[in-house]
Chains A and B, each alone.
Chain A
């Protein structure tokens, strides 16, 4: 038959992920024979910009590396600078950081939920999730002055104290979310139109998952209990009690279940943070003026658990006020190339958006 093979571009704008990235698909009928990822629509050269800036100037760009969840970037950056310069952060500041990181995790999960439900055509969930995410952004606005790019977790501490009654409002949010998440179970997680599409699709091979450097829900979805907060605790996570949810199936639905269970765990962590928050303690170290804030000639590797998995920074100083090198290692580079190109082979065209969304790929983080 003539024209048996068809090549199409899925993207750069498509329902698969937030951000612009395309996948070139070779098809026979509806079945994918070969997938090739193309990026380059968002290149902003963060790593180059950071080399020419002072530490504090660089701080203002790191949050822009991933739009849906800027805070793990800030935390990594701050932790790397603190480690290189030997700054100590008070317990109170650490608890506040955990609170911000967990709120941001919840916000990012809602954004994922909006995208994932959109990829199977359940648009009501998208509307709900964005509205519920806005409740978290309201709290962020109150705390940091900004809704999305907070620039709050500053090297040496946090930028501001909690406003009066803030913890009370966080508690109210937790109570609201606990009830609200049950509605999402009904309309989305247990919804047959999602379940039938997601079960058995995009199965990740457990044996190669760890070794190939996959992270986050991709690992936990195939039964590996990987979570940086447990494996190599940072901040005060070792003082908090929480579970690492896992599933065995390794498909899109397993990853969705893991994410949903993590949202409940996040609420559980937030409850403890509110209860344990120390009322005293310095928020911020005294820092040298920004032209004199120098990093020693040394390097380090720091990582946190973002909403999409392990998120790490390599940072090297050279004794000057500039950062010699900062490399971002998010989940997206490996998930977007090594994993996605493999998972899509043999999949149906209509499942591409579904699979992409479940991997937590964020293109700005590939083209940093």
Chain B
């Protein structure tokens, strides 16, 4: 099977990850062709998941379609890269019923438009108008500072790191003072003894 993929899809990017896990990298133009090929010729007919990884440095998303064989023994990951700017790719929801909700999830979290999926409404967020939250440029801390306020009665909310530093310094000073005192006492005692 792996050789057939290499020959038909002119790719050398076929990796055996584990005895029962393969990975293929293809261009986005040929990804659906490959998925259909795997389904029709080799019975990889169960779509387990669609995952997305944000490679912000390389300016693309890596979309991975994970398919399992009908005998449920082997799994193949088909990975393709799509541009981070205005990301879009065709939907798989006509071929696989479960793809609809997978794509809905990725649409919400990364802002990817799955062309042909008519049910891309919000899943777990509500009235979200900001950057899709799983994109790398979305900074959780900045968002919290800009959009949320602390509850009343927590005005003393201090930076934990600064506070811990202060407590450590205090403890250290106390310990040093005690040691100094003990040393002085000892010196006095030895003096008395003489």
Q: Using CB atoms and an 8 Å cutoff, list the residues of chain A in contact with chain B.
A: 39-40, 43, 45, 47-49, 51-52, 83, 208, 210-213, 226, 228, 231-232, 299-301, 312, 314, 316, 318, 324-325, 327, 329, 333-334, 337-338, 366-367
**Are A40 and B47 CB-contacts (below 8 A) given A45-B133, A208-B97, A232-B73?**
no
**Are A301 and B72 CB-contacts (below 8 A) given A314-B51, A333-B101, A338-B98?**
no
In contact, B70 and A210 (Cβ under 8 angstroms) = yes
Q: Which of B38-70 contact A (CB under 8 A)?
A: 45-49, 51-55, 62, 64, 66, 70
In the bound complex, residues from chain A placing their C-beta under 8 Å from that of B49 are 312, 314, 327, 329
In the bound complex, residues from chain A placing their C-beta under 8 Å from that of B21 are 300-301
In contact, A314 and B97 (Cβ under 8 angstroms) = no
**Most B CB atoms within 10 A — which of A49, A208, A300, A301?**
A301
B140 at interface by CB-CB < 8 Å: yes
* Count of A-B contacts judged by CB separation below 8 Å: 96
**Are A43 and B98 CB-contacts (below 8 A) given A213-B46, A312-B48?**
no
In the bound complex, residues from chain A placing their C-beta under 8 Å from that of B51 are 314, 325, 327, 329
In contact, B72 and A232 (Cβ under 8 angstroms) = yes
Cα of A43 to Cα of B75 in the assembled complex, Å: 30
Of B23, B97, B109, B123, which contacts A212 at CB under 8 A? B97
For residue B112, give the distance in angstroms from its CB to the closest CB of chain A.
14
In the bound complex, residues from chain A placing their C-beta under 8 Å from that of B100 are 337-338
For residue A222, give the distance in angstroms from its CB to the closest CB of chain B.
15
In the bound complex, residues from chain A placing their C-beta under 8 Å from that of B136 are 51
For residue B172, give the distance in angstroms from its CB to the closest CB of chain A.
23
Q: Using CB atoms and an 8 Å cutoff, list the residues of chain B in contact with chain A.
A: 17-18, 20-21, 23, 45-49, 51-55, 62, 64, 66, 70-73, 75, 77, 96-98, 100-102, 105, 109, 122-126, 133-134, 136, 138, 140
In contact, B124 and A367 (Cβ under 8 angstroms) = yes
In contact, A334 and B53 (Cβ under 8 angstroms) = no
In contact, B125 and A43 (Cβ under 8 angstroms) = yes
Of A49, A299, A301, which contacts B53 at CB under 8 A? A299
Of B62, B73, B96, B140, which contacts A48 at CB under 8 A? B140
For residue B93, give the distance in angstroms from its CB to the closest CB of chain A.
10
In contact, A40 and B96 (Cβ under 8 angstroms) = no
For residue A227, give the distance in angstroms from its CB to the closest CB of chain B.
9
Of A52, A325, A366, which contacts B54 at CB under 8 A? A325
For residue B173, give the distance in angstroms from its CB to the closest CB of chain A.
28
In contact, A40 and B125 (Cβ under 8 angstroms) = yes
In the bound complex, residues from chain B placing their C-beta under 8 Å from that of A40 are 122-126
In contact, B45 and A211 (Cβ under 8 angstroms) = yes
In contact, B124 and A334 (Cβ under 8 angstroms) = no
19 contacts between A and B (CB under 8 A): A40-B125, A40-B126, A45-B140, A51-B134, A210-B46, A213-B46, A231-B71, A232-B20, A300-B18, A301-B21, A312-B66, A316-B62, A325-B51, A325-B52, A327-B49, A329-B48, A334-B101, A338-B98, A367-B124
Cα of A51 to Cα of B66 in the assembled complex, Å: 21
In the bound complex, residues from chain A placing their C-beta under 8 Å from that of B17 are 300-301
In the bound complex, residues from chain B placing their C-beta under 8 Å from that of A334 are 98, 101
In contact, A52 and B140 (Cβ under 8 angstroms) = yes
In contact, B64 and A211 (Cβ under 8 angstroms) = no
In the bound complex, residues from chain B placing their C-beta under 8 Å from that of A39 are 123-124
Cα of A300 to Cα of B16 in the assembled complex, Å: 11
Cα of A30 to Cα of B143 in the assembled complex, Å: 45
In the bound complex, residues from chain B placing their C-beta under 8 Å from that of A228 are 72
**Most B CB atoms within 10 A — which of A40, A47, A325?**
A325
Cα of A228 to Cα of B68 in the assembled complex, Å: 12
In contact, B53 and A213 (Cβ under 8 angstroms) = no
Of B48, B71, B122, which contacts A213 at CB under 8 A? B48
In contact, A325 and B53 (Cβ under 8 angstroms) = yes
**Most B CB atoms within 10 A — which of A226, A314, A318?**
A314
In contact, B134 and A47 (Cβ under 8 angstroms) = yes
In the bound complex, residues from chain A placing their C-beta under 8 Å from that of B71 are 231
**Are A314 and B98 CB-contacts (below 8 A) given A40-B124, A213-B47?**
no
In contact, A333 and B105 (Cβ under 8 angstroms) = yes
In the bound complex, residues from chain B placing their C-beta under 8 Å from that of A231 are 71-73
Cα of A83 to Cα of B96 in the assembled complex, Å: 30
In the bound complex, residues from chain A placing their C-beta under 8 Å from that of B66 are 301, 312, 314, 329
In the bound complex, residues from chain B placing their C-beta under 8 Å from that of A83 are 18
The residue of chain A having its C-beta at the shortest distance from the C-beta of B140 within the complex is A48
The residue of chain B having its C-beta at the shortest distance from the C-beta of A329 within the complex is B49
Cα of A329 to Cα of B99 in the assembled complex, Å: 13
For residue A120, give the distance in angstroms from its CB to the closest CB of chain B.
29
In the bound complex, residues from chain A placing their C-beta under 8 Å from that of B45 are 210-211
